[in-house]
Each structure stands twice: as structure tokens, then as C-alpha cells.
């Protein structure tokens, strides 16, 4: 599985290099290379015209099916970051995400990381999640999002050893804390062309998601997956 990810990443990097030689682009990003690991927090891209990527962390959860139903009703493609331990508890929901045509990412197995964890501990947790996701869905995630967005040198090295790129976000909806009105206002204020928007699989998310989609569409935005967004 790791060899497959490495081949895909090499192909993507070659295409990106060829494209950059033809036309300079403006991407707000932080990049570090650890092995084949590219740490990228994509915010805006002058070549992206009215496209955003909705991402949903901590899936599967008791609310994931409702999130999927909303996305289906609006014809929206998204990216779900799966927690391995939750995939083992609800493998049928993980398969439903893939069957609906959405993209999946790795969000660790335990979702309980500490800055004191060793590289070896992090690598084991990432691999364990990958194996759980592959067993349930038949797919190997290309991207990794650390629990809580924790990024340090040990996390980068662990992802480098496992062949993952780290995907963060530009807009954090803070749907685990804010009211529906506050979420709508925050997304509206911070969204921009090429934005990666962070949501979770929560009751509040289910309530606010339809209005988020309608508001962004009213502003002319198109919804794409992470891979589609990173084609630029």
C-alpha cells in the first residue's frame, strides 16, 4: 500500500513540476519535505476560480449518514478524514462514503495524539488507521490530517516515513464550539478562492451544512474534493 502511495505522489510531483515550469502560480502554502512528505496548508490560489473543498473530520460518526444525505441532495463532492478506530466500529458507513463518490483521508487510528509521542508511536498509529480504512473500503488514503491539526517535526517525520502528505485547512468552521449563526458568519468572512474548509461530523454540522452550501453557491463557489483542488 505504501508503494502505491509513493508512486502516486511521485507522479503528482512530476506533473506539478512540469506545470510550474510553464506558468507561475500563487499558492498560500507552507511546505516542508520529509522523505516524500509534502506538508501543505492550502489557502488561496490565483489560478483557482471560485472553487472550495469541504472536508469533514472524525468520520464515521452517528451523524455521518445525515451529512452524506445532505451532500447527495445538493450534488456536492467532499473529502472525509476517517478515524481508524471509528472505521472498525462502523465499516459500513466508511464504505458508504466511498460508494457516494467522496474522497477519504487518514485522520489517525486513536485520534489521541500528544506532543510527547515518539515518531515510532505516531507511525504505528498512522499505519493502523490505514490498514483499518483499507480493510473496510478497499482504498488507501493519499492525505493525512493530524488530530487537532497538530504539526511538529515528529509528525512530519512520521508522515514522511508512511508516505503521506499533510492536509490542513484555511477556514475552520469551529462547528464543535460555535452556534449555527456564528459558523455561517465565520465561513462567509474567511472563505476565498481555493479554500479548504474544515467541518466535523456533528449535530451542529448537520443543521448548518445546507445553509453553508446555499450561501457559498450564491457567491458563485463550486465544491470540489481535495485532489481536484490540488490539481492547480
* Residue numbers annotated as active site: 57, 200
Say whether the peptide bond before residue 232 is cis (omega within 30 degrees of 0): no
CA 104 – CA 63 distance, rounded (Å): 17
β-pairing, 33-34 with 37-40?
Answer: antiparallel
Residue 197 CB partners (closer than 8 Å, separation 6+): 52, 53, 54, 55, 169, 170, 171, 173, 187, 191
203-218 helix and 180-190 helix, angle to the nearest 10 degrees: 40
Residue 56 CB partners (closer than 8 Å, separation 6+): 64, 67, 78, 79, 80, 81, 199, 200, 201, 205
∠ CA(139), CA(143), CA(146), 5° rounding? 120
Amino acid at each position: 500500500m505504501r508503494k502505491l502511495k509513493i508512486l502516486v505522489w511521485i507522479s503528482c510531483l512530476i506533473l506539478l513540476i512540469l506545470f510550474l515550469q510553464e506558468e507561475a502560480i500563487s499558492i498560500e502554502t507552507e511546505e516542508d519535505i520529509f522523505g516524500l512528505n509534502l506538508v501543505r496548508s492550502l489557502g488561496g490560489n490565483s489560478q483557482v476560480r471560485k472553487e472550495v473543498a469541504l472536508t469533514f473530520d472524525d468520520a464515521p460518526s452517528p451523524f455521518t449518514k445525515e451529512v452524506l444525505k445532505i451532500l447527495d441532495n445538493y450534488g456536492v463532492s467532499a473529502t472525509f478524514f476517517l478515524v481508524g478506530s471509528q472505521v472498525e466500529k462502523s465499516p459500513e458507513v466508511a464504505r458508504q462514503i466511498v460508494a457516494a463518490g467522496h474522497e477519504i483521508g487518514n485522520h489517525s487510528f486513536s485520534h489521541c495524539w500528544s506532543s510527547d509521542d515518539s515518531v515510532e508511536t505516531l507511525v504505528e498509529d498512522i499505519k493502523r488507521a490505514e490498514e483499518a480504512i483499507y480493510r473496510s473500503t478497499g482504498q488507501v488514503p493519499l492525505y493525512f490530517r493530524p488530530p487537532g491539526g497538530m504539526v511538529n517535526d515528529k509528525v512530519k517525520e512520521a508522515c514522511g516515513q508512511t508516505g503521506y502528505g499533510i492536509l490542513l485547512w484555511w477556514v475552520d468552521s469551529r462547528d464543535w464550539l460555535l452556534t449555527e449563526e456564528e459558523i455561517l458568519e465565520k465561513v462567509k468572512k474567511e472563505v476565498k478562492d481555493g479554500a479548504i474548509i474544515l467541518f466535523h461530523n456533528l449535530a451542529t454540522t448537520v443543521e448548518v451544512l445546507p445553509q453553508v452550501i446555499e450561501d457559498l453557491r450564491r457567491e458563485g463557489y463550486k465544491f470540489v474534493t481535495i485532489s481536484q483542488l490540488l490539481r492547480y
